[in-house]
Chains A and B, each alone.
Chain A
Amino acid sequence: MTTLNDKLKAALLSLLFLVLFLGFWFIVTKRPTVETKAVVIEASQVSELTTEALTAADVTELSGKGLTFDQLKQISGMGVSLEDINAAGGVEAFGFTTGGVAEEATETTGFPGPVLVWKESWEMLKDPFYDKGTNDKGIGIQLKYSLMRVGIGFTLAVLVAVPLGFVIGMFPLISMALMPYIQILKPISPLAWLPVALYVIKDSESASIFVIFICSVWPMLINTAFGVASVKKDYLNIGNTLELSKLEQAFRIILPATAPTIFTGMRISIGIAWLVIVAAEMVIGGIGVGYYVWNEWNGLNLAAMLFAIVVIGVVGLILDLMIAGLVKKFSYVEL
């Protein structure tokens, strides 16, 4: 029995781990801001660089900003004055880089830190349903498509697996006849079916739904069959003594007795389905969270990619909790 106190401790510890992780992430991805190193140019050389536009004082100032002798030589060759440079927005406007590099500029090319990811996430969450063409849609729209595919594929799998599992569980002969095929089909990666589905169905949308169906079907089928086959004889005897019909026996006794096992199978299935949809969408493309991750990777928008990965995790958790709630609702204490 966990007391409130224990829960509080656990929550605090979780929070500590999160802070540690974020801190680690922040430190590892932080680019050292390179201090602008002043370049020291000797007085004899300064005279070489001074022109009508550029005074010796100007040269000293520019070298103080980190421009090397060669760069200064080019600038002096261009015949511009310090005012011109400042008016244009600094030496960078002329294509020169100084020894110091702005932090913001590096973060877009290196691995993003937590701050940037948070900023990006906020942008995405503020308007999750924007639609700016084929490759630029909000995370909400992507999720909608992924969830729809999982929903349809999973529902179809329930409709097939539960009745079939019932039959397999109730009739040992059918169980023995079908088990070899189930055992062979079960370990096949759902993605291996994708080309088959694409060729046969010739529609990427339906093919991805089929892949979800095929990966969700096995855990539910096997759990239902196992649950039905192992219903306590006592419960069946109650039904027999009460002269229940076969159908009543199935719905009033076997189904409630097996419900927790069936829902546990569904919980495993929905987890697998959510894993598989990301991979399937990466392959099929078009739209969906899996494709979104891949697309952001291709565009090297790593912050958005990381955000999408976190979203996938959170949605998976929500799906799992939903079915876990059902498991709890229908579970009973065996006596």
Chain B
Amino acid sequence: MKSFLRGELLTKTFKIPGKEDLTVFQDLSFDIKKGEFICCIGHSGCGKSTVLNILSGLDKATSGVALLNDKVIDKPGLSKAVVFQNHSLLPWMTALKNVEFGVAAKHRDWSKKQVREHSENYLKMCSLEPAMHRKPSQLSGGMRQRVGLARAFALESELLLLDEPFGALDALTRGAIQDELVNICNQTEQTIFMITHDVDEAILLADRIFLMSNGPYATIAEIVKVDIPKPRERASIFKDKNYYATRNHIIDFLVNRCSEVREKPKAGAGGPIVMPPEVSPQGSEESLELAEQA
């Protein structure tokens, strides 16, 4: 399949005055197909957010390129919608106006009525109908986050970048919004790149999970293909035979291996593009029974 979003030898180095340069990650390469849901997991400081910012065009890699549809990503734009952890809504506008603002910017030829209907649909999809005319300060944290998601979804951009969108939410709200995200993804078939700290969330949502080693000189150590058929449901996903195998594999990586795999850095960035190894943990029926008994 043709590559949709591609990273080639991405490297980010921060210059710190009076100190040695800090290379957060080096020679990051990956390939994402259209319609895929990718989750990226790694410990704090491994540069996950920087990767996302480079993909959105808000940040620039020190070396290497990111390509969207074979075009270099060099500036932010409507083809790449972003949702940050802190939702970044415009506080002087109501929820509806925030969404409309984005929609109107994308569809400049649309009438006001069209913009409103389109925006309202997506707010309804995120269960925000009763809160549409309130300003962000009058909404709860979960609602704000959903407005941010609604705005991103309403843009219907090819690529949706989510930076820990549920990070600041409590477990209950998080679960509810995850369900909504699953619904919306099924409807829109967007390509999504999402950063998370939550392993269960990643398994629930992702087709493939990027596991990043610890920084500095972080890289994508391996890619876990989640072999659980979609649509998945929060309530039943753990009954799949591959669920625990996948989960254990990821947790083992985060606890034991993420600092091991860090190689001694090469002299400099660059070299042949090496894609990270891909694994697909498989569980047996017996293991599932064992887990159930336990």
Contact = CB atoms under 8 A, between A and B. Distances in A.
Interface residues of A, number: 20
B92 A256 contact: yes
Interface stretch (B74-82, B193-201, B203-211): B74-82
A334 interface: yes
B78 A234 contact: no
B77 A334 contact: no
Interface stretch (A143-151, A182-190, A241-249, A282-290): A241-249
A164 interface: no
Nearest to A260: B92
Nearest to B104: A242
A256 B82 CA distance: 22
Contact of A335 (B58, B81, B136): B136
B86 A234 contact: yes
Chain B facing A: main interface SS: loop
A332 to B, nearest CB: 4
A241 to B, nearest CB: 5
A235 interface: yes
Contact of B105 (A244, A257, A334): A244
A253 B90 contact: yes
Contacts of B58: 237, 240-241
Interface string B143-157: 010000000000000
Nearest to B53: A237
Interface in B97-153: 101-102, 105-106, 135-137, 144
Interface string A317-335: 0000000000000101111
For B76, B78, B135, B144, which residue has the most chain A Cβ atoms within 10 angstroms? B76
B137 A333 contact: yes
Contact of A242 (B75, B87, B102): B102
Contacts of A330: 92
A257 B91 CA distance: 9
A335 B89 contact: yes
A335 B102 contact: no
B88 A237 contact: yes
Contacts, number: 58
A238 interface: yes
Contacts of A334: 91
B137 A240 contact: no
B101 to A, nearest CB: 7
A235 B88 contact: yes
A218 to B, nearest CB: 26
Contact of A241 (B76, B87, B89, B137): B76
Given A240-B58, A241-B78, A242-B78, A335 B91 contact: yes
A242 B135 contact: no
Contacts of B101: 242, 252
B244 interface: no
Contacts of B84: 234
Chain A facing B: main interface SS: helix
Contacts of B80: 241
Nearest to B103: A242
A335 B92 CA distance: 10
A275 B247 CA distance: 71
Nearest to A234: B88
A243 B90 contact: no
Contacts of A248: 105
Contact of B76 (A237, A253, A259): A237
B56 interface: yes
A332 B78 contact: no
Given A241-B77, A242-B102, A242-B106, A332 B86 contact: no
Contacts of A333: 91, 135-137
Interface in A295-335: 330, 332-335
Contacts of B91: 332-335
A333 to B, nearest CB: 3
B75 A240 contact: yes
Nearest to A238: B88
Nearest to B92: A332
A259 B90 CA distance: 13
B52 to A, nearest CB: 12
B80 to A, nearest CB: 7
Interface in B210-265: none
A139 to B, nearest CB: 41
Given A244-B105, A252-B101, A332 B88 contact: no
A245 to B, nearest CB: 10
A333 B101 CA distance: 19
Contacts of B77: 241, 243
10 contacts: A237-B58, A237-B88, A241-B78, A242-B78, A243-B105, A248-B105, A252-B101, A332-B91, A332-B92, A333-B91
Interface of A: 234-235, 237-238, 240-244, 248, 252-253, 256-257, 259, 330, 332-335
In the A-B complex, list the 3 residue pairs whose CB atoms are closest, starting with the nearest.
A333-B137, A234-B88, A242-B105
Given A241-B78, A242-B78, A332-B91, 8 more contacts: A234-B84, A235-B88, A238-B88, A240-B75, A241-B56, A242-B106, A257-B92, A333-B135
